[in-house]
Structure formats: structure tokens, C-alpha cells
Structure 1
Amino acid sequence: MGVYSTLSDTFLPPNRPSALEHPDVILNYIHSELSAGHYTGPFSPSRLQNLIGHFRTSPL
């Protein structure tokens, strides 16, 4: 679906300030997703890039 192109760089924008103001909400969500098997990791950016190539993220 959509346009497919190869990424030429990795893009990691910073999280929004609210993610730092409410870390318990973010951590609870991440733990629930990990428990459900929806996430793998955690991976450092360099480790993930070695595994899958360039990637882009969306800020929390």
C-alpha cells in the first residue's frame, strides 16, 4: 500500500515534553504492549539499524 522507497537515513525526532512529564503513562503502555507480544526489544538505535537498516520513528 502506498509508495515504497528505500530510506537513505535514520530519523529519530525527540519525544514531546508530555512524554517526560508523564513517564508512568508511557512505561505502563510499553509494558502492556510487551506483555501482549506486540513489541520486541528494547533496541538501541544503532542495534536496530544493524538489524533492519535505516528507519524512522514518530515522537511519543
Structure 2
Amino acid sequence: MRTTLSVIKADIGSIGGRIKPSHQLLERIREFVINNGKGLVNDIYVRLGINRDIPVFLTSG
């Protein structure tokens, strides 16, 4: 079985570009991908990255 790992940097923008995203925002991103990625995404991991980026790790296959 083949599995593809994708990492996407979610750039949502913010005032000044350096405001820490809330946990509610991270959860909303996760919910959005789960709800809209049915049949495409097997698993997802969302976290606050370096420099307040939001990396989204996805597996599919």
C-alpha cells in the first residue's frame, strides 16, 4: 500500500504577521480539512510551528 505524506504551511495572515494563532484556530483548521478532505485525507496533524507558522501534516493513499 502506498502512503503519501504532505506538509502544507497554512498562511492565514494576521495583524503584523507575528501574532500567535489560538488553539481554537488550530482546531478549526483540523476540522475543516477533516470535513472537506473525506476520501482524500487519511490522517491529519496540525500544530503551531516555528515563527508562528501553522504546518499541516496530511497522509493519504
TM-score by length of structure 2 reads 0.31
More strand by share: 2
More helix by share: 1
TM-score by length of structure 1 reads 0.32
CA radius of gyration, larger in = 1
- Highest relative contact order (Cα 8 Å, sep 6+), 1 or 2? 1
